Amino acid sequence: MTKAVTFVIFGATGHLSRTKLIPSLAKVIAREDLSAHAVIGVGSRDRSSEDFMALVKASLSTAQVDTEVSERFLSGSFSYHAVSDERSYDDLASHVERIEAAEALPANRLLYLAVPPSKLDATVVGIAASGLKSGKGWTRLVVEKPFGTDLASAVRSNDIIHATFAEDQVYRIDHFLGKETVRNLLVFRFTNSLFEQTWNRRHIESVEITVAESLGVDGRAAYFDESGTVRDMLQNHLTQILTLIAMEPPAVMDAASIHSEKVKVLSAVRPIPADDVVLGRYGSGSIGGESVAGYLDEPGVSDGSLTPTFVAARMNIDNWRWHGVPFYLRTGKRMSRRTSLVTVRYLRPPICLFHREGDCRGHQNVLTLRLQPDEGFELLIDVKQPGPGAMIGQIPLAVSYDDILESAPDAYETLLADVIWGDQTLFVRSDEVEAAWKLYDPLLDRSDIHTYPAGSNGPESADRLIVTEPGVWTAI
Ligand SMILES: NC(=O)c1ccc[n+]([C@@H]2O[C@H](COP(=O)([O-])OP(=O)(O)OC[C@H]3O[C@@H](n4cnc5c(N)ncnc54)[C@H](OP(=O)(O)O)[C@@H]3O)[C@@H](O)[C@H]2O)c1
């Protein structure tokens, strides 16, 4: 089946569009074999369509998009339109209609909102008041993360969106959900009976989720200083991984059933006591042998900023499967290296049959799911060391995705294709986003922020959160 789509990208000149969205769109249009397409870039500042086209070409070139793919993309219709007041949305709608008529497009409209979070509501209101909201074909609204800055703003944005769009037209993006390794989590859990049967409190001692970045604010200080790591990472990326690790199998593998199971997990998370959370901010330090400035000295960070760049939390899920199993979540900037991983620690055997002297606790089976980079997984198992006696050693059963996958599509490619085909499975439903905010709202105004050196793995005080063996966070 071929498809023709009108892409209206609000925020088409921003960092996300230039670095991710435009190159991914080019690849998706080729991969999904769209029969025709138009791209209308929208911003708040006046620019010519020629300037926009130059930006698109530069973005394709920087991302080293294949020439054939780029040419196919650029053969579509490209234009730019600025919006300011309500009337300019009407003008934009007329512009889009003219292009659809000229290009004989069926008016399947993908409205992508890659605008700063503070502009989301006004943009939706502008769209709602104009003819943009109703093309002759389908209309789908894609909203970037973070969705809201707290519970109240997320509820407000949902209300504003729902005043015009049905939930099945809304695609709230969390690009972690488009990553091949994150998509694999449900397959890994529910198709391997070895894991399916042991994925519960009777076999698992603790679960740890780490998303570590070695980058600092990466030229986006103005955005990050307003949002901070609880809003930027914990409320969305880490929480999405948590729900996929902890959810029950859905009755059927469709978007609605999966979303409902994820919401049930979030509803079962016990309110997080203040003592079970440690916030941090990086000071100066060194990463990869290079000296880097502390957060407060980064250009663009406000004087006396109380924005955390690190958060670690111990969480408990009060349901049948997970009662008593701590979930440790940790994320931060300027940590020793970039990695995202899930560590599942299994309970030890009840008695110690082998070496009965000394430390008789034995080892743990530890399953590590590496989400990025070096994607793959590893299971530590005990084996007898060769030779006399019964010395026990641990060896990893390891799989690297590099060995089994030629190349995985980028998360944005996967997600854009899903929007085009109308599959909401990898997106976040309105009640899910609100349930996540409910958990983290109490953390947003805290000012007890511990400094950690850049290049470390966060403040040492975060170690006290680990109440199970080995008593420290997984080395990264
Ligand atoms: N950058 C990333 O790596 C990244 C990653 C994940 C999620 N996101 C999310 O993506 C969104 C955009 O981030 P960004 O980094 O691309 O921001 P950015 O670099 O600041 O770009 C913002 C874009 O929005 C446009 N814009 C501002 N006000 C507007 C309005 N009222 N109507 C229409 N367009 C408007 C700007 O155009 P003008 O200059 O013309 O105003 C610009 O194109 C944010 O929600 C962010 O959280 C970004």
State the DSSP string of 120-172: HHHHHHHHHTSGGG--SS-EEEEEPSS--SSHHHHHHHHHHHHTTS-GGGEEE
Sign, CA dihedral 158-164-168-170, equals negative
- Determine, yes or no, domain membership for 420: no
Residue 21 to residue 413: CA distance in whole angstroms:
8
**In this structure, what DSSP letter does residue 367 have?**
E
Hey, which of 13, 115, 174, 415 would you mutate to test ligand 1's pocket, going by the most ligand atoms within 8 Å of its Cβ? Answer: 115
Residue 158 to residue 150: CA distance in whole angstroms:
12
| 215 and 350 share one domain | yes
Residue 198 to residue 190: CA distance in whole angstroms:
11
Residue 454 to residue 291: CA distance in whole angstroms:
9
- Domain stops at, among 122, 144, 166: 144
Q: How far is CA 394 from CA 34, 367, 472, in A?
A: 51, 12, 19
Per-residue pLDDT at 363: 80
DSSP string, 440-453: HGGGTT---EEEEE
| 72 and 183 share one domain | no
Other Cβ atoms within 10 Å of 388 Cβ, number:
6
- Determine, yes or no, domain membership for 157: no
| 138 and 243 share one domain | no
Helix (H), strand (E) at residue 55:
helix 49-62
Nearest to 223 by CA among 319, 346, 307: 307
CA of residue 213 to ligand 1 center, whole Å:
21
What is the domain-level CATH number for residue 372?
3.30.360.10
Is the Cβ–Cβ distance between 45 and 80 less than 8 Å?
no
- Determine, yes or no, domain membership for 187: yes
Strand partners for 9: 41, 112
Nearest-5° Cα angle at 145, 144 to 146: 140
Q: Which residue is closest in CA terms to ligand 1's atom 20?
A: 14
Hey, which of 44, 59, 83, 215 would you mutate to test ligand 1's pocket, going by the most ligand atoms within 8 Å of its Cβ? Answer: 44
Pairing of strands 36-43, 139-143: unpaired
Hey, which of 85, 127, 130, 144 would you mutate to test ligand 1's pocket, going by the most ligand atoms within 8 Å of its Cβ? Answer: 144
Q: Which residues does 305 contact at the CB level (< 8 Å), separation at least 6?
A: 225, 295, 296
Atom number in ligand 1 closest to CA 45: 40
State both tokens at 424: 């909401």
Nearest to 365 by CA among 380, 386, 384, 377: 380
Residue 277 to residue 309: CA distance in whole angstroms:
13
Low-confidence residues of the chain, pLDDT below 70? Answer: 1-2, 355-362
| 136 and 190 share one domain | no
How many CA atoms lie less than 13 Å away from 194 in the CB half-sphere? 5
Per-residue pLDDT at 393: 83
Per-residue pLDDT at 357: 59
| 131 and 231 share one domain | no
- Determine, yes or no, domain membership for 166: no
- Determine, yes or no, domain membership for 160: no
| Number of domains the chain contains | 2
| 270 and 400 share one domain | yes
Per-residue pLDDT at 425: 96
Atom number in ligand 1 closest to CA 13: 43
| 110 and 192 share one domain | no
CA of residue 288 to ligand 1 center, whole Å:
30
| 316 and 397 share one domain | yes
- Determine, yes or no, domain membership for 440: yes
| 241 and 188 share one domain | yes
Range of the domain at 193: 177-406+427-465
Q: Which residues does 43 contact at the CB level (< 8 Å), separation at least 6?
A: 10, 11, 12, 13, 14, 80, 82, 83
| 108 and 203 share one domain | no
What is the domain-level CATH number for residue 25?
3.40.50.720
Kindly tell me the burial class for residue 63, based on how many C-beta atoms sit within 10 Å of its own C-beta (0-12, 13-18, 19 or more). middle
| 338 and 395 share one domain | yes
Residue 402 to residue 413: CA distance in whole angstroms:
19
Q: Which residue is closest in CA terms to ligand 1's atom 23?
A: 11
Query: pTM value?
Result: 0.95
Is the Cβ–Cβ distance between 6 and 40 less than 8 Å?
yes
Sign, CA dihedral 309-227-328-449, equals positive
Atom number in ligand 1 closest to CA 18: 16
CA of residue 223 to ligand 1 center, whole Å:
10
For the sheet with 139-143, list strands across it: 77-82, 36-43, 4-10, 109-113, 139-143, 170-172
Kindly tell me the burial class for residue 283, based on how many C-beta atoms sit within 10 Å of its own C-beta (0-12, 13-18, 19 or more). middle
Per-residue pLDDT at 470: 86
Atom number in ligand 1 closest to CA 14: 21
Q: Which residues does 411 contact at the CB level (< 8 Å), separation at least 6?
A: 175, 176, 177, 178, 179
Residue 459 to residue 196: CA distance in whole angstroms:
35
Q: Give yes or no: 237 in active site.
A: yes
Return the biggest CA–CA distance within the chain. 85
Q: Which residue is closest in CA terms to ligand 1's atom 11?
A: 114
State both tokens at 348: 């030890």
Q: Which residue is closest in CA terms to ligand 1's atom 48?
A: 16
- Determine, yes or no, domain membership for 474: no
Per-residue pLDDT at 361: 64
CA of residue 362 to ligand 1 center, whole Å:
52
| 117 and 196 share one domain | no
Q: How far is CA 149 from CA 74, 220, 228, 445, in A?
A: 36, 17, 10, 12
CA of residue 373 to ligand 1 center, whole Å:
26
Q: Which residue is closest in CA terms to ligand 1's atom 22?
A: 14
- Determine, yes or no, domain membership for 162: no
Ligand 1 neighbours (beta carbon < 6 A): 10-17, 42-45, 83, 114-117, 119, 123, 144-146, 220
How many CA atoms lie less than 13 Å away from 305 in the CB half-sphere? 25
Strand partners for 293: none
Per-residue pLDDT at 358: 57
Catalytic residue among 81, 95, 237, 259: 237
